[in-house]
Amino acid sequence: MSRSYFRRVSLLVLLLTAIDTSSEVNNSTEDTRKGEGPTPGRQNFTISEEKRLTQYLLWRYSVAGRGGRPVVNTSESTTVEFGLGLIQMALDEA
């Protein structure tokens, strides 16, 4: 199978996950009142679905990360790659 097929399938899975998570966020008003999840506060404006989804995903990540590592198996190694770029700009003030 081609790479473009896997990209399409990955994108579809990502979109379906986002839609499913968004519905969980919309149905979780009782949980947020109990102190579970992001608290919207007393606001007179409507939070966009994108903002609500972002808050929920970041909340889930922060809860999972409290144990030190947001993974299921903590003995599994995680490879992290860092990159560094140095940009120098010359400014000629005449």
Mean pLDDT computed over 44-51: 76
Is 49 a domain residue?
A: yes
11-25, 44-58, 60-74: which is most confident: 44-58
Is 50 a domain residue?
A: yes
7 is in which domain, residue-wise?
A: 3-31+44-65
Q: Which two structure tokens, joined as six digits, stand for 25?
A: 């966020």
Is 87 a domain residue?
A: no
Mean pLDDT computed over 13-28: 55
Is 92 a domain residue?
A: no
Residue entry with tokens 């903002």: 51
Is 72 a domain residue?
A: no
More confident residue, 32 or 67: 67
More confident residue, 66 or 35: 66
Q: Into how many domains does the chain fold? A: 1
Mean pLDDT computed over 10-28: 56
